[in-house]
Amino acid sequence: MKCTHRANPLNASDGGLYCTLHGSRFDLDGNVVAEPATQPLKKYPVVVNNSLIQISI
């Protein structure tokens, strides 16, 4: 969960993720909604099976 601008850790907020360093914002699909970041977040396949969450990295 790092910003694609300068790799600062992101924080969760209502409906998205934000970077405190320069103000980039991302939606919950990882798309940029506020620059300076221009690249979307990296996505990993997730499978939920009962109480098990499997993330393929």
DSSP string, 1-46: -B-TTT-PBPEEETTEEE-TTT--EEETTS-EEESS--SPPP---E
Residue 42 in contact with ligand FES, rule: CB under 6 A: no
Query: Considering only residues 9, 11, 12, 22, which one is a binding residue for ligand FES as defined by CB under 6 A?
Result: 22
Contact 28, 10 (CB under 8 A): no
Residue 30 in contact with ligand FES, rule: CB under 6 A: no
Nearer to ligand FES, 3 or 41 (CB): 3
Question: Which residues form the interface with ligand FES (CB under 6 A)?
Answer: 3, 5-6, 8, 19, 21-24, 36-37
